[in-house]
Amino acid sequence: MQPTRQAIRADRAFDGVRPLPGGLTVFVEDGRITGTEPGRAPAPEGWQVRDFPGATLLPGLVDMHGHLGADSHDGALERMATDEAARLEVVIDDSLGRQLAAGVTTVRDLGDRDWTVVRRRDRARSTGTAGPPSPTIVAAGPPITTPDGHCAFMSGAARGERELRAAVRERAERGVDVVKVMGSGGVHTPGTDVARCQFTLDELRVVVDAAHAAGLPVTVHAHALAAVEQALDAGADGIEHCTCLTAEGVVITDGLVERLVRQGVRVCPTLGTTPQAVPPPNVRAVMERFGFGLGQRQQHAARMHRAGVRLVSGADSGINSGKPHGVLPAAVAQLAEGGVPADAALATATSLAADACGLADRKGRVRRGFDADLLLVGGDPFTDLAALSRPVAVLAAGLWTSTDPRSAPE
């Protein structure tokens, strides 16, 4: 039986905003953080104490770009297009388990086929903490795309004002948390062009205006520079990938960066790959066509950070073997390798990500009143972000999910 009242101590901590090198004691009761004290504070009588010497305590991570219906192997999206409903449920279970094992306690799903993930989210909300520990799901449902456009198999195709308004209305009625729009073609959909827009500006404005009227944010998949500019013109809240591809290669001007800052758009550069990852042939073809690779993307993300762009971390998790569910720690580490300071990189997957999900009052911070979603890692991520990939223990809504046997709750 899991304890309902417990004190958790670690030698170092990151509260979602700043490092706390002197360590922290976190008090958890009934799935919520009831208080924090610096250092190794005593626990009230009757509370269970868990010590993690040598570890760093952080908020549970937030993956801002995942595909829970994708199975983390090459060809995942192709299988997702044809999988039967029962297999999709099995894949979603596996994806959530992989995420949780890596310390990810919230996943924003940005590509769902036939509303499967939305229904899973709804079931989780109805059971609350009565069910087994699992990441909180933030769901977009099927992305809005053009007929024969990127990921049209997910059942989100629409064209023209009437269809687009109907698409947004359906998402609002089904209770999505965010509207996802495929602004450009995609690497994994043959016949689409990553360097071209899929919608007209007027069409994209219809989606954004209708979503905002319904109280929903909009994030736009945009590999093409023209699609990034179009998303800004339409007033979108977020941009996924933001690769800025043109016929001449990658083009990111100072003016574009300044505009991203001025409009306060959240940019998710979708870094994050396993160390031995070999890009699939379709990804290699795009990289060769436009002359860019991981190093350049890291430099561009760091440039945006220095300018004040609001970066968040999501790994496009699940789409192939190099981007499995649970790879988010690598996305954070790759930001830092590109020049983003460690504490700022960590914030992109904790407090800043929670803010962008509309969960600023519940997630992403180690703070009184917040959900007890906590990650303990071996080592010091402020000097070595590889430590983020060494989880020692994970707490989701106050429930232990993955713990070093030496520290396991009794």
Q: Are 40 and 84 in contact (CB under 8 A)?
A: no
Q: Are 79 and 71 in contact (CB under 8 A)?
A: yes
Decide if pLDDT at 151 tops 90.
Answer: yes
What is the number of residues in the chain?
A: 410
- Mean pLDDT within 343-347: 98
Structural domain for 377, as ranges = 5-59+364-407
pLDDT band at 59; cut points 50, 70, 90: very high
pLDDT of residue 1: 62
Same domain, 65 and 55: no
Lowest-pLDDT choice from 129-143, 175-189, 320-334: 129-143
Looking at the whole model, is its pTM more than 0.85?
A: yes
Residue 70 to residue 67: CA distance in whole angstroms: 5
Same domain, 200 and 155: yes
Q: What is the CATH number of the domain that holds 114?
A: 3.20.20.140
Looking at 315, 335, 356, the residue that finishes a domain is 356
Decide if pLDDT at 409 tops 50.
Answer: no
- In the chain the first and final C-alpha atoms are separated, in Å, by 8
Lowest-pLDDT choice from 29-43, 68-82, 282-296, 304-318: 282-296
- Mean pLDDT within 132-152: 97
Same domain, 17 and 68: no
Decide if pLDDT at 310 tops 80.
Answer: yes
Looking at 356, 383, 399, the residue that finishes a domain is 356
What type of residue is 393? A
Same domain, 148 and 172: yes
* Interval 217-240: pLDDT, tens: 999 999 999 999 999 999 999 999
What type of residue is 45? E
Write out the DSSP string of 320-361.
Answer: BTTB-TT-HHHHHHHHHHTT--HHHHHHHTTHHHHHHTT-TT
Looking at 356, 372, 397, the residue that finishes a domain is 356
Decide if pLDDT at 191 tops 80.
Answer: yes
Same domain, 71 and 44: no
- Mean pLDDT within 25-43: 97
- Mean pLDDT within 276-287: 88
Domain count, the chain: 2
Structure tokens at 98: 């992989």
pLDDT of residue 405: 37
Same domain, 103 and 148: yes
What's the mean pLDDT when you consider all of the chain?
Answer: 95
Same domain, 286 and 310: yes
Residue 341: which residues within 8 A CB-CB, separation 6 or more?
A: none
Decide if pLDDT at 122 tops 80.
Answer: yes
Same domain, 269 and 399: no
Q: What is the CATH number of the domain that holds 10?
A: 2.30.40.10
Structure tokens at 193: 């062009």
How many CA within 13 A on the CB side of residue 400? 20
* Interval 93-110: pLDDT, tens: 999 999 999 999 999 999
pLDDT of residue 127: 83
pLDDT of residue 130: 64
Same domain, 335 and 204: yes
Same domain, 46 and 85: no
Decide if pLDDT at 132 tops 90.
Answer: no
Helix H segments across 84-159?
Answer: 85-101, 116-127
pLDDT of residue 402: 59
Same domain, 52 and 117: no
Scanning the structure block, which residue is given the tokens 């460690």? 342
Lowest-pLDDT choice from 59-68, 120-129, 138-147, 180-189: 120-129
Same domain, 245 and 190: yes
